[in-house]
Amino acid sequence: MSDLESHHLRQSFAALQPADILSAVESLGYLSSGHCEQLNSLENRVYDVRLEDGRHVVVKFYRPGRWSRSAIQSEHDFLYELQADEIPVCAPLRLADGQSLHEQAGIFFALWWRTGGRCLDELGVRQATELGRLLGRIHNVGARTAFQSNGRLILNQQSYLIEPLQYLLENDWPAPEYRHAIEDSALDLARLYEQAAADIPLLRIHGDCHIGNLLHSNEGWFFLDFDDCLMGPAVQDFWMLLPGRLVESEPIVNALLDGYRLFRDFEPGWLGLIEILRAMRYVHYSAWIARRWHDPAFQQAFEHFNTGEYWQNLSQDLRDQLDSCQSAVAPHTLDATIHAGGTEWQANDDTEALENSAYFYDWTDNGSDPD
> If you write DSSP's letter for every residue of 230-297 in order, what string do you get?
EEE-GGGGTGGGSSS-GGG-HHHHHHHHHHHTTTS---GGGGGGHHHHHHHHHHHHHHHHHHTTTSHH
Which positions are annotated as active-site residues?
Answer: 208, 225
329 and 272 Cβ atoms separated by less than 8 Å: yes
Put residue 307 in one of left, alpha, beta given phi > 0 → left and psi -120 to 50 → alpha: beta
DSSP string, 15-72: T--HHHHHHHHHTTTPPEEEEEEE-S-SSSEEEEEEETTS-EEEEEEPPTTTS-HHHH
User: What angle, 0 to 180 degrees and rounded to 10, lies between the N-to-C axes of helices 125-142 and 69-84?
Assistant: 120
- In which order are the strands placed within the sheet that holds 107-113? 32-38, 45-51, 56-61, 107-113, 102-104
Q: State whether residue 322 is helix, strand or coil.
A: helix
Residues 6+ apart with CB under 8 A from 221: 88, 130, 131, 134, 214, 215
* Residues 317 and 193 sit within 8 Å (Cβ to Cβ): no
Contact criterion met (CB below 8 Å) for 127 and 53: no
